[in-house]
Each structure stands twice: as structure tokens, then as C-alpha cells.
Amino acid sequence: MTKQVSTIFSSILLILAFGLRIAVAETPSTQPAATPSTDLLAQAQKGDAASMDALGSYYADHKDYQQAFYWFQKSAQGGNSDAMSGVGWCYDNGKGVPEDSRQAFIWYQKSAAAGSANGMYDLGLSYRDGSGITKDYAQAVKWLQKAAALGEADAMDSLGKCYANGEGVAQNYQQAFDWYTKSAQAGSSNGMIDVGFSYDYGHGVPQDGNQAIYWYQKALADGNSQAAYCLGQHYENVDDYTQAMNWYQKAITMGNADANGALGYLYYYGMGIPRNLAKALKLFKQGAAEGDPFSMAYAGFCYDNGYSVHKDPVIAFEYYKLAADNGIVFVDQLIGWDYQYGSGVKRNIQQAIAWYEKGAAQGSMTAMDYLGTCYQKGIGVKKDLQQAIYWYLKAAQLADEFQNSDSSSDNPDWQMDTDVLVKLGQFYLRGNGVPQDYKKAVHCFQLAANNDDDNGMFHLGLCYQNGQGVQQDMQQAIIWYEQAADQKNSQAMQHLGMIYQQGNGVPEDDAQAVKWFQKAANAGGVMAMYDLGMCYLNGQGVDVNQDIAIKWFKKAAAHGNAKAQQELQQLDAQ
């Protein structure tokens, strides 16, 4: 198994698309102590509940959370339903009081029961996220609807997300868009962003980039930093990296944590700019410190691989764990891999299996692949080929769904794992654990090849060469072998050498055969080492040179090639 990490940037849409509530590290305020108006303070001190609630909000806005909690609590004791929600908010986020999601839920319940739209909204979010209570999407929708009916604009937006994600209601992008629009019209900048997002990706409305920009700009004018990030995302998706960078930079200056990961990603992969891992890591660490889960994951990947930093699997594991705790799915298999091989954490194969199962349950193809491998080889579980194939089939089913729909855009952590497709294709090709089925094998190889997997390309070439699952076609075989060879696939190079040596579908050309054998041998192809040795021994495409032939036979023999070992024995006997 090879450790894999997602390279799909849509992971950064997690907070926008799914509305997760993540505690973000606060930057200590450099402002002087908050000083409310004399009249407000006087009214609050006289016991006016509405004034006490307003004073709590004032202190919360100015980051004096102990005072905020004090006044929210006094107002709540005076019966103010909105202040009850404020007390819940303090408990939910650990502001002025130790974080306690259960206490937050209790206060949201009190607030909602007392008729506060804010309380109903917060209660709905608690049920949706499973914060302080068992996750219950039906209850979430119920309370969000109640809050929306009272004009709570952000509740309308969250209700739209429920329809977009099929949480508590049947998935319906048109209904989602309608709720986003109502939210935006009611003044919610979050609603404006999601209207823009719907236009950007054609969810519930025809795709329209200009309308997307219009709504993002409206939200930005309202001071919403996520709008600047979304503008950066929009321009990145149309390959305008200069504009994308500008908007990500603006989002960062506005305090948007997500934008750190977005800009870091551009530096990490050199998209529109020279690759700069040092800048990428700096941005990932900054984003992680501010609570961006995507940045946590990629900071971990930098430490895992020693990218612009001393390789440190312990720190990598810590970042992966933070990312997983904050909802990033694609790190589950990385954590499992670390447990399996004792990288950055004490080896614990049962923990590895648990993390693979967690990732698989959340739709990670790679986790399914790793879990299947464990069952196939009996790693941490009883060896069970049928259970292995079960997981490989589930992964392949996901790949089909991905190819046939836009479902990947709805799952920000989804990534294609082509290794498992090739593995399953080989099972079908050989009839190993499944009925032999060449057409299903071709389907798996084709899907992998379509996603730039060189092994998929090579095996597809084999099927065309042998007429397995497709009509025999040497020209198609050569095309797929050449594409695989372009990606340094030594088996494809070796097969091209054999094709030219035998004149199979092309004019016989020993010089071309030697060229491909040489490339394959240099890439580590053991059979090609033997073939190249035979060319030098017999003078096929090159001058006879027994010394060079012996050199390649020895290389092949060292890797266990029986034919090369036999040739060496015969040469020794001469």
C-alpha cells in the first residue's frame, strides 16, 4: 500500500457547502477595553432585560467575553429569550465560560421555547451538527423552519443547505436555491454567498458565472470575508490564477481562515505561479492556527513528506488528527496508514482498521482500498478475499457514480482512487474471487485510464492486444501502451519493445525494440532487463556485446528472473 493524500482542491469548500461550525482561534484584540454608551449601561444596571441583552452583544462584538457572558446571563434570568441564545453561544464557543456544548444546547432549547428566532436557529444547528445532542436532521429542519417563518435570514440559508445536502429532507437543489434566495433577500450575506455558489456550479439554476460574481460581490459589500474567498475559488476554477490569488489575499486580510489554505494550495502545486513549498507551508500553518481544517491536512502532508521543513511524522500525525476532528474525511486513511505502519504514532493495527472503516463509511475510495487490502492479506483482520472484494466493489461503484454525475462537487472530500480500480479489474481478468468477466475488467481499466492511471492504461492495452472484453485491436493497444509509457510505466515500455521486435501491428524494427527495452530497464522493468540482455547477446538492434548482455542478465537475475539466471548459467558453462 502507498500512502495517498487528496489533491482535489474542492476539499476547501467544506465549511461553505456543509455549514460546519468550527471554533476559530481568536486573535487577541489590540483595541482598548470596550466602553458602552452611558445610557445603555445605566438601563442595563437598572435591570432592563433588553438593555442587558444589548450590552452582552456589545461586549461580545468587542471581544470582552466575560462581560458578554455576565450580561447575557443576567438578561436571560430576566426572561429575555434572545439573551438565552446568547448564553448558549458563549457555552458553545467557550467565550467567557468553559466550552460546554450540552449547556449550549440546553440554553438554545430555553431560548427557542421562549419564542426566540435566534434560539430556534441555534437549536436547529445543534441538531444538524450533533452538538450537545444526538444528530437529528429531522429536528434540525423542524427548528430551522420555525426560525425561518419568524424571518431569521440565516435560518433560511441553513434550511437551503439541508435541501442541498439531503439532510432531513429529500435532496432538492431547486428548493435549496429558493431558500438561499429568500435568505439573501432578507439581508443574509451567507444567503447571498450560497446564491452565488448555486450560480457558480449550476445547482438548482442554470450555471452563470456573472451572476455568481454579482452575488459574491453583494456579500462582500456586506463585509463577509467568505465572499472574497469564493471569488478566489471562482477565478481559480476558470484558471485565472492572478485574480484568484488577489481575492484569496483579500480574504486573508479580512480574517478568512479558509483563504490561507486556498492560497497555500496554489503555491503547493505551482498553479499560475512558480511552486513554492515554503510559502505554502507558512500559509497552511497560519490557516491551521486559525481553524481551517483543509490547512491542517496539508500542513500535515508537508511535515509527512519533508516539504520545506524537516520531516516529522509526529507533527504530521497531529495535524492529520486535528483535520479529522474538524470534519476532513480524506485524512482518515492517512491516520489509519500511520497507525498501521507506526508512523508518528505507536503502531496499532486495530486503530488502523478503525480509521479505514471510518473513512470508508464516509465515502473515501482510498480507505475502501486500504480496508480491502487488509482483508485480502489478513492484516489486522482474518484473511477474507470475499470481504476484500466487497470493499473493492464499493469503491468501484463510487467511481462509477463520480463519472456519471456531478456528485463529486457535493462531497468536498471525495477523491478518485484508481489503484483499487486496477486491482478489481485484475480480479475480473483472472476470475480470482469473482466470476471471470473480461468486459467488467475492461470497464475498471478504462475508468482508471480515463483518470490518468498508467497501470489502467497498460492493462487496457493488454485487453486490446489480447482481445479480452474488447475486439482485438493492436493499434488501440499501442496507443494505450504509449500513453502509459509516457508516465514511465515500465511494463508498457517492455510490451512496446516486444511489439516492435515481433512486428506485431507495426513494421518489425529491432532498433525501436531496443529503445523501448532500454527505457523499461532503466525504469526498473525486470523482464525488460532480460530482453535487453538478449538483444546484446544476439545482436538484435545493437552490435553483439556479451559483456553488456551479462550486465543486464545479472540485473534481471538479482530480481529473481529465472530466464536471466538460466542464460548466465549457460554462458558460464561455455
pLDDT, residue 23, reads 34
pLDDT per position as a tens digit, 422-466: 999 999 999 999 999 999 999 999 999 999 999 999 999 999 999
pLDDT, residue 2, reads 56
For the chain, give the number of residues: 574
Q: Can you read off the three cell numbers belonging to residue 126?
A: 445543534
Task: Please answer whether residues 190 and 157 qualify as being in contact, where contact means their C-beta atoms are separated by less than 8 angstroms.
Answer: yes
Residue 3 pLDDT class (50, 70, 90 cuts) = low
Classify residue 32 by its DSSP letter: P
Share of the chain above pLDDT 70, in %: 92
Classify residue 9 by its DSSP letter: G
* 176 vs 160: CA distance, rounded Å: 4
Which among 158, 167, 107 has a CA at the least distance from the CA of 136?
Answer: 167
Q: What is the pTM of this model?
A: 0.77
pLDDT, residue 33, reads 55
Containing 355, the helix (H) or strand (E) segment is helix 349-361
- Mean pLDDT along residues 345-369: 95
pLDDT per position as a tens digit, 292-337: 999 999 999 999 999 999 999 999 999 999 999 998 988 999 999 9
pLDDT, residue 402, reads 75
* 330 vs 415: CA distance, rounded Å: 8
List the domains of the chain with CATH numbers.
Answer: 1-20+39-150 (1.25.40.10), 224-324 (1.25.40.10)
pLDDT of 539 higher than 90: yes
Residues 6+ apart with CB under 8 A from 415: 6, 7, 8, 330, 364, 365, 366
pLDDT, residue 400, reads 85
Angle of helix 258-269 relative to helix 241-253, nearest 10 degrees? 150
* Secondary structure string (H, E, C) spanning 519-535: HHHHCCCHHHHHHHHHH
pLDDT per position as a tens digit, 405-431: 654 444 444 467 899 999 999 999 999
Query: What DSSP string describes 76-129?
Result: HHTT-HHHHHHHHHHHHHTSSS---HHHHHHHHHHHHHTT-HHHHHHHHHHHHH
Which among 516, 522, 546, 525 has a CA at the least distance from the CA of 534?
Answer: 546
Share of the chain above pLDDT 90, in %: 88
- Mean pLDDT along residues 85-92: 97
pLDDT per position as a tens digit, 210-252: 999 999 999 999 999 999 999 999 999 999 999 999 999 999 9
Query: What DSSP string describes 385-405?
Result: HHHHHHHHHHHHHHHHHHHHS
Buried b (16+ CB within 10 A) or exposed e, 5-42: bbeebbbbbbbbbbbebeeeeeeeeeeeebebeeeeee
Classify residue 306 by its DSSP letter: T
Does residue 299 sit in helix, strand or coil?
A: helix
pLDDT of 147 higher than 70: yes
Residue 15 pLDDT class (50, 70, 90 cuts) = very low
C-alpha count within 13 angstroms, C-beta hemisphere, residue 429: 21
- Average predicted confidence (pLDDT) for the chain: 92
